Structures are given as structure tokens and as C-alpha cells.
Structure 1
Amino acid sequence: MSAEPHPTLPPVRLPSDAELARDALGAPLFARAVRLARWAGPHTRVHTGGELAAEQLPEVAAALGLDPADEEGPVLASQAWRVAVDTGLVDVTEPDEGGDADGEEESGTAAPGEDLALVTGGAPGEVLDLWLAALETVLADAAVPDLDDLVDALDAGGDIDFDRLDWNPSREADFLDGVLANLYLLTVSGRGAAEGPIPLPVLAASMVIPEDMGEPTDAVLEQVSDAMMRLDDQFRQLEPIGLVEFRPVDEALMAEADDEEFAAAGSASGPAARGVDDEDVSRYGLVRLTPLGLYGIRARMLEAGVTAPAVGELADKGADALLDAVSGYPEGAAQAEIEQWLAGREPRGAVAELLAAARGADEGGPLRRLRCQQALAPAGPEAEEAVRAVLDDPELGGLARVWLSEHGVADVPAPDEAMVFWLTVDTIAAQLAADGETAELPLLMRSLTEHHTGFFDQVWRVDHPATAYVLEAMGRMHPDKKAAKESRKAAFKARSRQG
């Protein structure tokens, strides 16, 4: 899978390997490949390349419980056989190139492969490795043009005219990789699994329409339409291996809609934007990565050098690694990772380790302290001793007082004015780092400034590396114009003070 150099994605939440292995064994195409591996034996006849003899396909379809008279039966049987061979579930001995004495091609043989034993006797990870190998076969097939296109591209001699076909294998594989990467990102960022399947027009548009493009041109919309139809065909092939749940494009819709309406489905002015209900939008196709699909795409991304974390990977790491990592996670994923990290540790020691890791005057310090505060929130009385130990710490003292007060602890010492202002700057810097300039942040700024007389006369003197940055943000965002102006003046003083 192609990838940008070492990008970092949001973390994915995956079931256990045992659950994923059960899903893999239940995927229809993989299950059929396993059945064929058990069926293979002396009666099996194969040609060069390991392909089943055509005359044997009806028998194979029957062995799979498919209707040999149905034209789809032999096709499904052939796909399953290819997966069985490519994954090592079946061992094939190809026929000799010279043929027999009469010049006719001899048949090769096939038998269950050694890896077949892993299906029932292997560890979950070994089953998943077999499934990943099967996935590669299916992805390679999905990147090949459909039969109609191949037939149309035949020249007079019966050979494929690749210029006429306009098919570049590398380009097609990269396109499919990009689609799956976008689908993965939409899912792990909370816009996929959390909110339902992705409309096919959205996915197609993400591959065709540049982010900085305004109203798409007719030519671009036609490209979106073409991409939708390619994806419709490809996802039909990917669903049986368990990668996706897919609702194809409604064939009646293709007959009803003209080219312009169909192409417009992929743009911001498509049916979803025109107030069409969800059922109408779904007629353009819907797709969702399954948990097994998330596992498979993540595995391919990791192999390509992409940093694609999974929740739970930090359970055996130190608190410094934990806070650095979850600082870049969405809040829900950060909380899940923190909970798994805490679950295997003695509470008092874990709290002390988290507090120590939260220190630092670097740019990431404020967000680390915010995640530390998030981690400490559910802690009980066993954390009090470690929290009290940092009351006099200039970076952690404010955090400690907040925690003690929220947990109803008596005799919490009041912070001095310097600590109050430092904590204010640190809190806003953390919120900016976590979520950017949200609609809620101006309300927080108003509350903080209204509760401190002469706030801007004093805050610019705070010895915090983010003081000027925070004041500049307040100058842009503070809902009170007078306060915003005072903030900009204070930011200039802070910059001057910092040299």
C-alpha cells in the first residue's frame, strides 16, 4: 500500500485477535477457500498457473454447495480456488510444459497445504495472517478491469489492446489503496463507524475533487461519476472477503438518472445537500469498513510505513510515552487508552508517574497536563497522597488543587495569584492544542477575565512559554471587543518581554 512518508493517523479500536480470527473464518470467500482446500486431492486437475480445469468447475461449485447450473457458481468457485492456492491452503503441482506423448497438456495435481492445519490448530494471529494473504489476492483482482471492459478492448487478433483499455495496473492499485486509506481515516476519525456507513459519492469525491476547489466543473463531476462506478464494482468484490459492508448503487437509479444528476451525487451540491432523505442518498451506494477490514487496512498501512496506532498499544509503556501519544488522540480514544494503561498498574504509583510525566515547559506541556488531569479524574482516595506531593510544584500545583477540590478533600491550600494566572494560560493553551479555536473557548475566556480584576495588566508577566500565544488567541476570539483589544496589547508586551 502506497503512503505518504510516516503520517500519523488517529488510533483505531479493534476487537481481540480471537474475535477477528472468528470474523475471518466466517468471511464467505475465505470460508469457501478453506472448504476447497479440504476437498482437494487426487481427483483435482489443474492447469499451468494452478488454475482449476474448466470442466471441473461445476463439480467444485457443487462441493461448495453452489448451484452448478447458475453461471455465478463456477465464478465463485474459481475465486475461492485462487484464494486457496495463493494463501497456501492448497499445494499445487503444475503440469509439465511439454504435455503428454500425444502433445496434449497434462493436468497438474493439488492437495491440502500445510497451512490448512492453522485454520483449526493455529493461533488467532496465524489465522489472521492467512486472511491477510487472501485479502491481497482479492485486492489484486479488484484492481483489474471488469470482463466487459476487457472484451471491448480486444483487437482483431484477439489480444487485449492496453492503450484502448486505458488500464495501468500500478495506477489502479494506487487508486484502490487511496480509497481504502480515505475510508479508514473517515472511520477512525469518528466520521465512519460512529455515524454510519459512508456514501459512495463522498468517497469517490474525496479521490477526485481537490480540497481547494470551489464549485466542481462538469468534467470533474464526470470523473466522480466514473470513480463511483469503479468503486461500486470493486466493493462488490471486497465484501465477500469480509473487508467491508456494502450497499451497491441502485441499478434502477442508474436507469432513472441522467448523467448530470448521477455525477452531481459526488459533489457538495449532490442529493445530500439538496435535502434528499437518507433513503435516496443510500441509493447511490453505502460502504463501511468492518472491524476485520479496519484490521486489514491498518496492517497494510503499517507495512507501508504509516504510523497507524491502535488503542491498547501503550499499556506496557511509561507514562511519558502515554501522555505524549494521547495528546494527539481524539478525546474518546485518549480516554480509552488511558483506562487501559491504568488497569494494569498500582494506583498510587501510576498517579505519581503520570504527574511526573506531565511536567515540562515545551510546546506539548499544556496538552500533556490536560491529558494527565483527564487520567486522574476517575482516581479515588488512593491518589490523594501523590497529588498532595505536587501542591508546591509551579507547573502542577494548580492541577493538584483542582483535583483535590473536585474530590471533596478538606484543607486544600488556596493558590497564590501567580499560580492562578499561570494555570489560566496553561489551560487555554491546552484547549487550543486539543481542539483549536472552538466555539466554546470564547465563553471560557470571558469567564476567566471577568473573575480577575485587572487581568490583562498582570497576565502578560506570566512566566509561561505560551503566554503571548494565548493572549494573541484571546485578542482574536474574546467576545468582548474592549477585552479583545486589551488582550492584543498584552500580547505585544509579552512578546517584547520574551525578547
Structure 2
Amino acid sequence: MSDSSPLPPVRLHSEAELARAALSTPLLARAARLARWADPDTRVDAGGSLVEEQLPAAADQLGLTGDDAAAYAAEAWRVALDAGLVEIADEDRGTVRTGEALALLTGSPQEVLTVWLAALETVLADASVPDLDDLVDALDEGGEIDFASLDWDPESEAEFLDGVLGNLYLLTVSEDGAGDGPVPLPALAASMIVPDDMGEPTDDVLEQVSDAMMRLDDQFRTLEPVGLVEYRPVDEALMADADEELAAPVEEADVSRYGMVRLTPLGAYGLRARLMEAGFEAPVVGELADKGADVLLDGTAAFGPSAALAETELWLNRHEPLSGARELLAAARGTDAGGPLRRLRCQQALSLVGGEAEPALREVLDDPELGGLARVWLSERGAAEVPAPSQDLVFWLTIDTVAAQLAAEGNSEELQALVEGLAEQHSGFFAAAWRVEHPATADVLEAMGRLHPDKKVAKEARKAAFKARSQQGG
């Protein structure tokens, strides 16, 4: 992902809901319980980890049993230490005391989430570390880890996981993405490995995807207890067969056997916080609700339709219909490149406003930029005495509308249908359109030339675009 443009806006749960979710995550709950359990007799080693003799008691405190009980207890302690729930009291004696962050867990939702974010960082760091068995195998004769034999680059591994989580975030918040649904692990792995311009993946690429899936399977198992994701692991029966090609195409009914991952609402909050810290612009639905109409229209310009609608509804809820309509109309004016899309967003916002706003629309009937959308709004509501638009206004509004659609959607199928309809319904459209005094006239006509499937019509559009550009002096 590039941080040069904003990410799609995310819809976050309230901080109170997120804080409750954070407190109920298995890992933070265990870390908090160990922090409250620890006393002056609790002993740690030089790195702050519980000494081995303490692990059985810690596991018992957490109600953990089985072969992995000590490992889970050690992990929970490490989270408690890194998140500030416990602190080293005396390094020489290896004693601990309650950390200042423990009190935050009974504080405000924002304080709870601050502790959870610290816990998340610890778990993300752990997820990038090789499996314990691999570390043991990499010990040299002196008992030191031979990192070269592991073929493990800590920085690259962390960047890979960050990239995967970034793609999962995008798939979750994008309007045409997974949304609240789970994402197949093969698709997520392939998003990091397979080049966008590659048709059929090569055997080498498929093998890389398979290897990435195995790494991600371990990592998502690690990340689930902190509440970042909900994860259905790769079917053990598939992993048991060493010859099974995990990256091979599979039937839709079987795809869940290859792992399914879903970003939780808490996870969306956490990843957004990390993305913003890394310099990305990561908007959230609702943050424009208390801003001016100019900020709303410009801010929602890059939003998808449903996100823009949700943001606009929140804004309108804070305004009286008439004054809100006036503010929106005033903000929609402008001959700059963003003007057409502002007016489109304004029109969409006004479609949510009732008849109380009618005086504001009548006030702009003579406005060359707003008169067209005002007439549309009044006519759709069956208002009386709506003056007919002049031909010049009709053509200006047409150019403005197509320019807005281009800015919002690019060369979409919907825009192509609009272009075809315009050329079909208005004979001599291009002969008149090039004369329209709108900053986007030439660009719109060029786009119509690209989009129209009829070569003759497309040629007319290009000729009209040339005339328009000549008229504009360039």
C-alpha cells in the first residue's frame, strides 16, 4: 500500500464497545489476571520473564492445563510486562510490582484501548518470530541461535506481516471488498506474492504462496487470542499430507479448509491506529460530522457511495434542514477541478433533506452552477412553478454531471451507459457541447470519445474535445 492517498473510510464501533471487546480478549484478560496475582515473592529473570519455577503457579492461576499451559502463561506474563501492567521492582533481586497501566483497565474506554494497543504490539512482534522448534534446531554448538540457518530476516518478516494485515484491512473496509465476511487464506497470501499483471501463476509462484500460507496459518493462530482476527485454521488433514499443494485451485465448497480469516471490529480499530502511526491517511466514518459543509463535500469526495451516504447522514443529523441545505449549496460552488464532484455530493446530500429545505433551493435557481441541480431537486418533489432550464444550463449541467462521475468512478460501466444515452438522446450533442463554458468540457468530451463503443460517435466526441480545448486556449 502507498501512503500517498487516503485509504477507504472505516466504520468503527464506539470506544465503549471496543474497550469491552478488548477486556474480554483471552490474552489481555490473562495478562491482567497475572498482574493482579503477582506479589513481592514473584520472581523474574534478567529479561523480566517469569522464572521457570513460577510458570506452573502462573498457569494454575489462569486455569490452564496441558502441555502448552506453561507457554501460554509465559506469553500472558510477557504481555503484562510489555503493556505496563507489571513492572520490574528490583533487577538485582528479580522482583516485580504492579504497573501503572493496570489501573487503566478500570478507567475510560480510551485508556483501556491504549493498554490493548500495547498488548497488540507485543503479539505482532511474537507473530514474526520463527516457530520454537525451528529456533531449537538453529542453536549452534555454543547455544546461540544461528539466524543465517533459519533463513529469517526479522525486518522482512515484520514487513510481510504488516503488508498482509494492510491488505486484510483494505479488503474489510473497501466497499467492494469482504466487509464483515471472512477472507480465504489462499487469496490473502496470493495478494502478497502474485504480481497483479500475472495471468496464470507459475509453479514457483504457487509454491511461494503455499509457503506464505503456512507462515500465515501460524501467525493468525498467534494473533487470534489478542482479538485482532477471528481465524479458522488450515485443515490439519491437509497439512498432514506433505505432498498436498495448498496453493492449487480448490472448489469453492472446500476453500474454508485452507483457512479463513476475518478482521474483528477491534482489529479494524487496532490496524487503523497502526496505519495512521505509519503515516497513512486512514479516515473513519463520522469524523466529518462536526465539520463545515465544505469539509464534508471535499472529504467525502474519495468515499465510496455507502460510506459517503453514512457520513452525510451523520452530518445532516446535526443541522436544521434549511440552514444545512444553504450551507451545502454554498460549499458546492467553485470552478476548480473538485467542483463537479462537490456538487454531486451536494446533490446526494440534498436528496436526504425534506421539503423544509425548499427555500434554499429556490434561492439558487438563477445561479449558473447550482440552478440545474436546484431544478432537479424541486421537480423530483413535485414543487410548483419550477422554471424550465435554458438549453445552455442543460448542457452545462450535463458536462458537470459527467465530470463528477469521472472523478468519482473513473471509466465505469455506469458512466459508459450514461455517455451512450446522452449521445443517443440528443442529436447534435457534440456540435453544441464543445461550446459549453465549463472548465471540464474538453476533458469530458475526450472521456466520451474513449468510452463510446461506436467509432463514429467516438470520433465526433474527440473532434468536439479538440474544438473545446482550442476555445479554452490550450
- With structure 2 as the length reference, what TM-score do the two structures score? 0.96
Residue number in structure 2 paired with 1:403: 377
Structure 1 residues 316-342: Cα deviation after superposition (integer angstroms, max 9, x where no partner) = 211111111101010110111111111
Residue number in structure 1 paired with 2:18: 20
Residue number in structure 2 paired with 1:358: 332
Residue number in structure 1 paired with 2:101: 115
1:345 deviates by 1.7
Q: State which of 447, 452, 455 in structure 2 corresponds to 1:478.
A: 452
Residue number in structure 2 paired with 1:50: 48
Residue number in structure 1 paired with 2:311: 337
Residue number in structure 1 paired with 2:226: 241
Q: Which runs of 5+ in 2 are unaligned?
A: none
Residue number in structure 2 paired with 1:100: none
Residue number in structure 2 paired with 1:181: 166
Residue number in structure 2 paired with 1:390: 364
Residue number in structure 2 paired with 1:496: 470
Structure 1 residues 291-331: Cα deviation after superposition (integer angstroms, max 9, x where no partner) = 10010011011111110000111112111111111010101
Which one-letter code corresponds to 1:164 in the other structure? S
User: Aligned ranges for residues 25-424 of structure 1 at < 5 Å?
Assistant: 25-67=23-65, 70-96=66-92, 107-120=93-106, 122-194=107-179, 196-256=181-241, 258=243, 261-264=245-248, 270-271=249-250, 276-278=251-253, 280-424=254-398
Which one-letter code corresponds to 2:338 in the other structure? G
Structure 1 residues 232-291: Cα deviation after superposition (integer angstroms, max 9, x where no partner) = 1111000000000111111101234735x3233xxxxx22xxxx123x111111111101
Is 2:25–2:226's contact at 8 Å kept on the other side of the alignment? yes
Q: Equivalents in 2 of 1:90, 1:495: separation in Å?
A: 69
- With structure 1 as the length reference, what TM-score do the two structures score? 0.91
Deviates most, 351-360 or 231-240: 351-360
Residue number in structure 2 paired with 1:461: 435
Q: Equivalents in 1 of 2:2, 2:394: separation in Å?
A: 43
Is 1:33–1:83's contact at 8 Å kept on the other side of the alignment? yes
Q: Which runs of 5+ in 1 are unaligned?
A: 97-106, 265-269
Secondary structure of the 1:369 match is helix
Is 1:49–1:94's contact at 8 Å kept on the other side of the alignment? no
Structure 1 residues 413-436: Cα deviation after superposition (integer angstroms, max 9, x where no partner) = 000000000111111111121112
Secondary structure of the 1:327 match is helix
Is 2:138–2:145's contact at 8 Å kept on the other side of the alignment? yes
Q: Equivalents in 2 of 1:111, 1:376: separation in Å?
A: 59
Deviates most, 420-429 or 346-355: 346-355
Secondary structure of the 1:440 match is helix
Go from structure 1 to structure 2 and tell me whether the alpha carbon gap of 1:209 and 1:32 turns closer, same or farther (over 3 Å shift).
same
Residue number in structure 2 paired with 1:101: none
Deviates most, 281-290 or 413-422: 281-290
Q: Equivalents in 1 of 2:276, 2:417: separation in Å?
A: 41
1:156 deviates by 2.5
Q: Equivalents in 2 of 1:140, 1:446: separation in Å?
A: 54
Q: Equivalents in 2 of 1:15, 1:197: separation in Å?
A: 18
Q: Equivalents in 2 of 1:482, 1:5: separation in Å?
A: 42
Secondary structure of the 1:91 match is strand
Structure 1 residues 16-69: Cα deviation after superposition (integer angstroms, max 9, x where no partner) = 1000000100111001111111111133122211111211211111111112xx
Is 2:441–2:465's contact at 8 Å kept on the other side of the alignment? yes
Structure 1 residues 344-399: Cα deviation after superposition (integer angstroms, max 9, x where no partner) = 12222211111111111111111111111011001012211111111111111101
RMSD (Å), alpha carbons? 1.6
Q: Equivalents in 2 of 1:446, 1:168: separation in Å?
A: 54
1:94 deviates by 4.1
Q: Equivalents in 1 of 2:216, 2:274: separation in Å?
A: 19
Q: Equivalents in 1 of 2:220, 2:90: separation in Å?
A: 32
Residue number in structure 2 paired with 1:104: none
Secondary structure of the 2:88 match is strand
Is 1:37–1:116's contact at 8 Å kept on the other side of the alignment? yes
Q: Equivalents in 2 of 1:212, 1:329: separation in Å?
A: 26
Aligned pair count reads 473
Go from structure 1 to structure 2 and tell me whether the alpha carbon gap of 1:132 and 1:22 turns closer, same or farther (over 3 Å shift).
same
Is 2:289–2:314's contact at 8 Å kept on the other side of the alignment? yes
Go from structure 1 to structure 2 and tell me whether the alpha carbon gap of 1:451 and 1:130 turns closer, same or farther (over 3 Å shift).
same
Which one-letter code corresponds to 2:136 in the other structure? V
1:211 deviates by 1.7
Is 1:94–1:108's contact at 8 Å kept on the other side of the alignment? yes
Go from structure 1 to structure 2 and tell me whether the alpha carbon gap of 1:497 and 1:206 turns closer, same or farther (over 3 Å shift).
same
Which one-letter code corresponds to 1:318 in the other structure? G
1:191 deviates by 4.5
1:195 deviates by 6.2
Q: Equivalents in 2 of 1:108, 1:498: separation in Å?
A: 78
Deviates most, 70-79 or 211-220: 211-220
Which one-letter code corresponds to 2:246 in the other structure? F
Go from structure 1 to structure 2 and tell me whether the alpha carbon gap of 1:232 and 1:222 turns closer, same or farther (over 3 Å shift).
same
Q: Equivalents in 1 of 2:366, 2:279: separation in Å?
A: 44
Which one-letter code corresponds to 1:182 in the other structure? N
Task: Tell me if 1:439 matches 2:410.
Answer: no
